[in-house]
Chain A
Amino acid sequence: MFLGMFLLRKVAIALATMLAVSFLIFLALEVNVEDVAVKVLGQYSTVEQRAAWLAQNGYNDPFLLRYVRWLGQFVAGDWGMSTFFRAPVVDMVLPRLAASAILAGGALLVIVIFGLGLGVLAGMRPGSLLDRMISVFSVVTTSIPDFASAVFLSGIFVFWLGLLPGASTMISGLSLAELVLPVSVLGLYSMGYLARVTRASMVDVMGTHYIRTARLKGASMGRIVLRHALRNALITPVTVIMLQLPWLLSGVIVIEVFYAYKGFGTLLYDAALNQDIYLIEACAMISVLVVVLSQILSDLLYGWLNPRITLGARA
């Protein structure tokens, strides 16, 4: 199937998914108009004020009509005003998503370099001392939840050694020092898992006939790994990496809150805590968008890594 057709089909599926999710979001948050009025105007608003606001903003219209109007406004970039932050939602979400992208980029770099590197090293010679050491390290880092390693790392590098800043607000602009701890925590948590998956995949590939043939032909280990094994061994790890992407971009709530990092995760947390209805809607829609886009990207990557996988083939 041509790439264009493939993309068209994927985008159509993504749009259908987003449409369905948008309906569910709207249903969950705006089916009760009284609740909407209280959330927007506050608990001290009077019944008359709420009624006037509801009438003024079209909330007396039928539910489906309101949904279509809301969807249209969303697509047009009118995401409403945040009731907690008192600012246009669209102006808040995108900078926060960019901030999370910086954090995610740093974490992804750590995850990919160390996770893949360690996994390949371990998988090259299964059962060796190096393999065992890497396996133990991987199990340990994967077993410690991110909030726990955040406490450990802060305890060591902030409170004990005094080497790193304890909060990552980025209030004064981008600070690499402030990125170190959150990136390390996210990296540690995911790199172990990626290393284990890569190792398993590498062990499988290294046992195949074509690798044995390459060895018999006298190819060096470096050449065998880089030219013959790695590309095939990457298919499973890429799945893991692509699954991390939406989480890193829109789901790193614990670490962002812990380090007071003003990213998308903190925004979602604040929106949920403060019942900031329009912000919750926008954050939910963006989260879904990130997931579907990362799926399309991972499908494209599969095709590049293994040309035998036909783009668009039904699973």
Chain B
Amino acid sequence: MKDYKTLSGAPLHPEAKALTKRLAEGQIDRRGFLRAMAWLGVAVGGASMLGGKALAEEAPKDGGTLRFACQIQEITDPMMTNWIEASNLFRNSLEFLTYVDENNITHPYLAKSWTPSADLTVWDFELDERAKWSNGDAFQPEDVIFNIERWIAPDSQSSNKTAFGAISRVEKTGDHGVRITLSRPMASLPEQLYSYTCPIVHRGFKGNWPADPVGTGPFALVSHEVGRQSVFRKRPDYWGTPARLDEIQYIDLGPDVTTHLAALSSGQVDVIYRATIAEYDLMKSLPNLQILSVKGANTIVLRMQVDQKPFDDIRVRQAVVLAANNQQMLDIAYRGQGDLGANYHVSPTQADYFSLPPIARDVEKAKALLAEAGHADGIDIELTLGNTQGKWEQDTAQVLQQNLAEAGIRLKLNVLPASQYWPIWNKVPFGLTFWAHRPLGTMTLDLAYRSGGSWNESRFASPEFDAALDKAMAVVDPEARKVAMQEVERILQDNAVMVQPFWAERLSAAAEKVRGFVLHPSDYFRMDGVWIA
């Protein structure tokens, strides 16, 4: 225990001792251990502690402009952001209380330390006294209180309202101290504070960030033109370690990834936001390119709204799940570049994953269930999708269409442009929605399946599920948390809420000269460490 210290200098949390013992006994892995220790406010260092691969031994260079191809979306209020792409723009200027790295380890950021109470309901955060706003104001506890109160306000329409629904009070405890009190234990609170809707805006924020782009971050917004270009320039007066790049230009190249690759290939941009499986062969054939890939909890869920006909009958939902061939969808639509899903929306890459046996495909049973539900002659249903991440979404739906036909389920596909899908993603009875990676399964499930949750698109409501989720969210020990997740996952799987066919490997590409760009599994890209060789 003597090797580990808290960031705040406070005594170690009682749970830390148990964790160290379990690590020594080989009952938990090192990654899970470090991650849980970080939640408890223990200084765990960087990725090097994981024995990760060191960066190339090149002296980093300062200066230069990096051009990044991505959609330039509208930004108004960061807490209301629906697109991670937009968050990667303001991430250059707005910072978070904590930082979660690509290994899902939580580190200090605007908060330099945090100390949870023994029961994990009272959290004391110590803010970094060096932090300053770009307008010269000091970063204060009032800024944090202003933000959290906005997130959880009764009229808040931010997804933070659900994610931080357990916060009952937030108060100042000193010149740099903030206390967050919870109504129920939440072990992963520091990790959740790095969600993309949680950047800390200035206490005087008026609701439209680009109009008054005050931030604490290493870059300042120079211009932001939706659908065209967004430019950030290095701040010489940044309070922390200065960024290496002088300027970052985000350029909107439209929706076609082939155009993005063409621009990358011809040196017009240095990094592209995303490539899909359809471009994989093309990427491999291009010289002077780094292909970036990461496995995470990126997935699509073909979820059914449990209060809408005909999906209000669990037998119909079960028939859909039983007739679906997840392996075939992975093999055909995503060329096997991912992991098989088992219809409960927790990934093997998430620390709290408990492996439940997948549901075996059984077309005859599906037919029998349909007949029992009064659809002996089959049933007509419609799936709405928007290819928000690429054409592979539609390919997946087409495989499902064939799968379901075998059970007499006539599936009609309603394919919309991505921008027309998002406005109705949580309204259609049967929809295909992309869900981005989150470090923990509980973080996704809390948003997507808790009764009345703001992003609960399936309208699944189960007090039993909510209680099991609460229990899992209160556990620090990684192995104990996995055990607690068994019940959560089982309830979701038994209720046949969704077909969740596979976990899609995330792909992207950068020019060979780009250094330090890490493909974060959540697509949260910090650019302050990026440089050009």
Question: What residues of chain A have their CB less than 8 Å away from a CB belonging to chain B?
Answer: 42-44, 84-87, 151, 154, 158-159, 162, 164-167, 169, 171, 257-260, 262, 266, 270, 273-275
CB contacts (< 8 Å) of A42 on chain B: these are: 423
Q: A85's closest neighbor in chain B, by CB?
A: B226
List 13 interface pairs A-B (beta carbons < 8 Å), by A numbering. A85-B225, A158-B265, A159-B265, A159-B286, A165-B262, A166-B261, A166-B263, A166-B265, A166-B266, A166-B268, A167-B268, A169-B268, A260-B263
Q: B254 CB to closest chain A CB, in angstroms?
A: 4
Q: Which of B240-286 contact A (CB under 8 A)?
A: 249, 251-256, 258-269, 282, 285-286
Q: Within the assembled complex, what's the spacing in Å between the Cα atoms of A260 and B264?
A: 13
A112 to B426, CA, bound (A): 52
Given A43-B423, A166-B268, A257-B256, check contact A154 B251 (CB 8 Å): no
Q: Nearest chain-B residue to A181 (Cβ)? A: B262
User: How distant is the Cα of A63 from the Cα of B255 in the complex, in angstroms?
Assistant: 37
- Which B residues lie within 8 Å of A273 (CB)? 417-420
Nearest chain A residue, comparing its CB with the CB of B74: A86
Known: A166-B259, A169-B251. A86 touches B226 (CB 8 A): yes
Cβ-based interface call for B60 (8 A): no
Given A165-B266, A275-B420: A257 in contact with B255 (beta carbons within 8 A): yes
A-B contact count (CB 8 A): 85
Q: Nearest Cβ distance between residue A98 and chain B, in whole angstroms?
A: 15
Given contacts A159-B286, A257-B256, whether A165 and B419 have CB atoms under 8 Å apart is no
Inter-subunit contact B254/A266 (CB<8 Å)? yes
Contact of B266 among A164, A258, A270, A275 (CB under 8 A): A164
Shortest C-beta distance, B519 to chain A (Å), equals: 22
Closest to A151 in B: B258
For residue B255, which residues in chain A have a CB less than 8 angstroms away from its CB? Answer: 257
| Most-contacted residue by chain B among A86, A167, A266 (CB, 10 A) | A167
Whether the Cβ atoms of A167 and B265 lie closer than 8 Å is no
Most buried by A among B228, B267, B420: B228
Q: Contact: A259 with B251, CB < 8 Å?
A: no
- Give the residues in chain A near B282, CB-CB below 8 Å: 159
Q: Which residue of B lies closest to A259 (CB)?
A: B259
Chain A residue at minimal CB-CB distance from B416? A273
**Separation in Å of the A273 CB from the closest CB of chain B?**
5
Number of B residues, CB within 8 Å of A: 36
User: For chain B residues 145-194, which have a beta carbon within 8 Å of chain A?
Assistant: 157
With A260-B252, A260-B254, A273-B419 already in contact, the answer to whether A171 and B261 are too (CB < 8 A) is no
Give B281-294 as 1s and 0s: 1 = Cβ < 8 Å from A's Cβ atoms. Answer: 01001100000000
The reply to whether A154 and B262 form a contact with Cβ atoms under 8 Å apart is yes
On whether the beta carbons of B251 and A171 are closer than 8 Å, the reply is yes
Given the known interface contacts A86-B74, A167-B259, the answer about A162 and B266 at a Cβ–Cβ threshold of 8 Å is: yes
Q: B286: which A residues are within 8 A, CB to CB? A: 159
Known: A159-B282, A257-B255, A273-B417. A167 touches B262 (CB 8 A): yes
Distance in angstroms between the alpha carbons of A258 and B420 in the assembled complex: 20
> Which residues of chain B are within 8 angstroms of A84 by Cβ–Cβ distance?
74, 226-227
Docked Cα-Cα span, A181 to B42, in Å, equals: 57
Find the A residue at minimum CB distance from B211.
A86
Task: Report the Cα distance A159→B288, complex, angstroms.
Answer: 12
CA–CA, A154 and B282, complex, Å: 13
CB distance from B94 to the nearest CB of A (A): 19
Closest 5 CB pairs of A and B: A166-B262, A167-B263, A260-B253, A260-B254, A166-B266
Residue B229 CB within 8 A of the other chain: yes
Residues of A within 8 A of B228 (CB): 169, 171, 262
Question: Complex Cα distance A274/B252, Å?
Answer: 15
Q: How far is the CA of A273 from the CA of B421 in the complex (A)?
A: 10
Name the B residues within 8 Å of A169 (CB-CB).
Answer: 228, 251-253, 263, 268
Q: Is the CB of B259 within 8 A of A258?
A: yes
Complex Cα–Cα for A192 and B260 (A): 30
A188 to B329, CA, bound (A): 40
Q: What's the least CB distance linking A82 to chain B, in Å?
A: 8
Extra 8 A-B pairs, beta carbons < 8 Å, given A167-B262, A258-B254: A44-B157, A151-B258, A166-B262, A166-B264, A169-B253, A171-B249, A260-B253, A275-B419
Chain B residues lying within 8 Å of A158, measured Cβ to Cβ, are 262, 265-266
B262 near A159 with CB under 8 A, answer: yes
CB of B309 to closest CB in A, whole Å: 23
B residues near A270, Cβ cutoff 8 Å: 227
Q: Which residues of B contact A87 (CB under 8 A)?
A: 225-226
**Bound complex: CA A158 to CA B225 (Å):** 27
Chain B residues near A262 (CB-CB < 8 A): 227-228
What's the minimum C-beta distance from B66 to chain A, rounded to whole angstroms? 14
The complex places the Cα of A298 from the Cα of B326 at a distance, in Å, of: 59
A147–chain B nearest beta-carbon distance, Å: 10
Q: A159-B286, A171-B228, A171-B229 are in contact. Are A165 and B268 (CB under 8 A)?
A: yes
Give the distance in Å from the alpha carbon of A43 to the alpha carbon of B418 in the complex: 15
Contacts of B263 in A (CB 8 A): 165-167, 169, 260
Looking across the interface, which residue of chain B has its beta carbon closest to that of A267?
B227
Chain A's closest residue to B285 (CB) is A159
Q: How many angstroms between the C-alpha atoms of A61 and B511 in the bound complex? A: 57
Query: Which residues from A are CB-within-8-Å of B258?
Result: 151, 154
Across-interface contacts of A44 in B (CB, < 8 A): 80, 157
Q: How far is the CA of A7 from the CA of B286 in the complex (A)?
A: 56
Taken together as a complex, chains A and B put the C-alpha atoms of A270 and B423 apart, in Å, by 15
Chain B residues whose C-beta falls within 8 Å of the C-beta of A275 in the assembled complex? 419-420
Complex contacts, B417 vs chain A, CB 8 Å: 273
